Structure 1
Amino acid sequence: MELKLEVVVIPVSDIDKAKDFYVDKLGFRLDADFPIDDGYRIVQVTPPGSPCSVIFGEGLTTAPAGSVQGLHLIVSDIEQAHAELTGRGVDVSGPFHDATGAFHHAGQAYRVPGPQPERASYGSFASFADPDGNEWFLQEITERLPGR
């Protein structure tokens, strides 16, 4: 049985502000904007090159706006992605790697400025938040582990 992740729901407080951020600033494709009825609106956007979409709107989740943490967008060059998003007006942290050499810790603990020194795949990150504070990471992957 295959299980494919196709949609992630994120809680936002201002749908139009979130839509502008994801479409205009991040360059996500706008797939749908359905104002179904009073109190129920669905906006679906998709990151360039991704098979998984993001949905936000009204009446979709009881999670507080800005409460999602740890969403990852995979890039092939962390510095290029950082420069492009910064150029689009997104407040992105400088590239960093974790002092342990593994994944990154919660918050900013163990962050070392700059990409992973050997530019090992999976080792370099940058972070940003949407207007509500939902947290996203860019992660550099240049060579996937077997089976990925």
Structure 2
Amino acid sequence: MSSVQESNSSAAASPPVRPGEVRLEVVVVPVSDVDRAKGFYQGLGWRLDADLPVEDGYRVVQLTPPGSGCSIIFGEGVTSSPPGSLQGLHLVVHDLDATRAELIGRGVDVGEPFHEASGVFHRAGTAGRVGGPAPDHADYGSFAAFSDPDGNGWVLQEIRTRLPGR
């Protein structure tokens, strides 16, 4: 078995899971071409944690967005979901415009900012979308979307100040 190809030894270790806690730490992303997906996500500036070619037909690649406690995994033999079928994955950012500009500068096709007409979390698809960020860039209300090469859908969500208890 191959070892971890890259790691970030400067990353702080997570404290152990305490009783009553439940943590989302990995999302499996279905892709058709592992190397193409690896290049795309590394091109976003995500840290490569592992690339493990375990055996023929079984390879695990793990990457983590900057500052995230949750990673993604894709590869060969890790999911039966069809490539591109994962939709609505949210990446919380402090500054939607700056993050969008950075991703566009990295060659990513990021859609225009939008908000939900009702002022609540956006709906599936494009129903209820209003062009531009939420009024005054209200927390939780401004979004922009992009997809990976397989069509897995990601949404940037701007949150500058968390609601109490979050």
Name segments (4+ residues, structure 1) moved above 6 Å.
Answer: none
TM-score by length of 2: 0.87
The answer as to 2:126 corresponding to 1:113 is no
Deviations 1:63-84, CA, capped at 9 Å, x for gaps: 0000001100000011111111
Q: Distance in 2 between matches of 1:109 and 1:28?
A: 31
Paired residue total: 147
| Partner amino acid, structure 2, of 1:139 | Q
The answer as to 2:26 corresponding to 1:7 is yes
In structure 2, what is the equivalent of residue 97 of structure 1? 115
Cα offset, 1:89, TM superposition = 0.3
Percent identical: 67
Cα offset, 1:145, TM superposition = 0.8
In structure 1, what is the equivalent of residue 41 of structure 2? 22
Q: Distance in 2 between matches of 1:12 and 1:62?
A: 10
Cα offset, 1:3, TM superposition = 0.6
1:77-88 equivalences in 2 (<5 Å): 77-88=95-106
In structure 2, what is the equivalent of residue 126 of structure 1? 144
Identify unmatched segments of 5+ residues in structure 1: none
Cα offset, 1:119, TM superposition = 1.2
Cα offset, 1:118, TM superposition = 1.9
Higher alpha-carbon Rg: 2
SS of alignment partner, residue 118 of structure 1: helix
RMSD of aligned Cα (Å): 0.5
Identify unmatched segments of 5+ residues in structure 2: 1-19
| Partner amino acid, structure 2, of 1:63 | S
In structure 2, what is the equivalent of residue 36 of structure 1? 54
| Partner amino acid, structure 1, of 2:23 | K
SS of alignment partner, residue 115 of structure 2: strand
| Partner amino acid, structure 1, of 2:103 | L
Q: Distance in 1 between matches of 2:117 and 2:102?
A: 26
